[in-house]
Amino acid sequence: MKTYRLLFVAVLLLVAAYLLFPSARSKMPSSPAKPAANTVYYKWQDDKGVWNLSDQPPQGIEAQQGVVNPNTNIIQSPPAVAPAEPKAAAQTEVTLPGLHYVERAGRVLEDAREARDALNGRQQQLDALSAEH
């Protein structure tokens, strides 16, 4: 009997809170939005050669009418990439712990050498320009 009373009081408090605090209702999830309707637009060129767009047809000027479907995805998706073929089961790779650090250090060292060579080439160009003046 006590449980029913507590349940009744809890439900009563929830209903009162719902009625007394309307701002809480606006935060409740709503049903999904309906798809937007097509939008009609008008396009025309004025006497100065400027193109104009409007949702209302211009007065006394012939305009091209266009329709835009706002539910159309205009962003092109990237092309699908074929999945890589799995390696044959007979080939087994053995990796040593820390080997990827050595490989990464080698790539960083090579990048540093390329940057050094590019900077040396730039310095030679600057030296040649300053020698001319």
- Residue 56's CB is within 10 A of a number of other CB atoms, namely 9
CA dihedral 5, 9, 15, 16 (to 10 degrees): 150
- pTM score, two decimals? 0.32
pLDDT at 57: 92
State residue 113's pLDDT score: 93
pLDDT at 85: 73
Q: What is the residue whose two structure tokens read 């408090």?
A: 13
pLDDT value at residue 29: 56
For the stretch 101-126, pLDDT in tens is 778 888 889 999 999 999 998 888 88
Q: For 2-55, how does the pLDDT look when each residue is reduced to its tens digit (9 = 90+)?
A: 777 777 878 777 777 777 776 655 555 555 566 678 889 999 998 899 999 999
Strand order in the sheet with 51-54: 51-54, 39-45, 64-68
Query: Could you report the per-residue pLDDT of 56-91, keeping only the tens digit for each?
Result: 999 988 999 998 887 776 666 677 777 777 666 666
Structure tokens at 28: 């409740």
